[in-house]
Structure 1
Amino acid sequence: MNKWFVVYFAFLFSGFLSAEESNQFEIGKQKAKVCMTCHGADGIALIDPYPNLRGQRASYLVSALKDYKSRERTSGLAILMQQQADTLSNQDMKDIAYYYSMLGSESQDKME
């Protein structure tokens, strides 16, 4: 009986996380609209100097955005990203990073 109780709650909890992840994906997608101008609607940039963001690790993207905001990244087109990062809160960075990290993943494909 105890075994079924654990399995039942694990099943319920996994559904809750899926809905929460789906919500975070949609929030990130909305916040990333300004990013899509340079990095493409699907996270694949159409212009050479801009990097692809699709499938990047969320922790890397958050770190990069924080580095732009603190002016630690200064090469290339950094001035454009510094201006964009200045407008973002830490939560905005996490949401956008989550969105791009999930693009193309199996989990994201199930959410759509």
Structure 2
Amino acid sequence: MTVQAIDETTWLTANVRPAGRLGRDDVDRLRALLDALSASASMIVLDLAATSLRAAGAVGAAGAIDDAAAQLEARGGCLLCVNADDDTCARLSGCRHAVVVGQGAPRPVGAPA
């Protein structure tokens, strides 16, 4: 696959909000979605507020997320996981390319707690 740089003048951001518990059976669907989005988006925001990673699928899900993040990063983009609970943050701690942010963090300076 040829890696093309992202057009710096036009960004396409995709927001994805999975719901429920992601397990081993869901990893292929997650990977297919992230692969498709990372091929055309500049940034993917994966909102994890409504989901949790089951132990059986956590390694596969983390791999799918990090692979898509690496593809975006190679083109100058980013995959940002937001609203991850403590358990999900721990399960995604091995991601080297995805940015994982816990629930409610970070807050803009001066924003109410």
TM-score, length of structure 1 as denominator length: 0.29
**Which of the pair is proportionally richer in strand?**
2
- Structure whose alpha-carbon radius of gyration is higher: 1
TM-score, length of structure 2 as denominator length: 0.29
Kindly indicate whether structure 1 or structure 2 has the higher relative contact order, using CA contacts under 8 Å at least 6 residues apart: 1
**Which of the pair is proportionally richer in helix?**
1
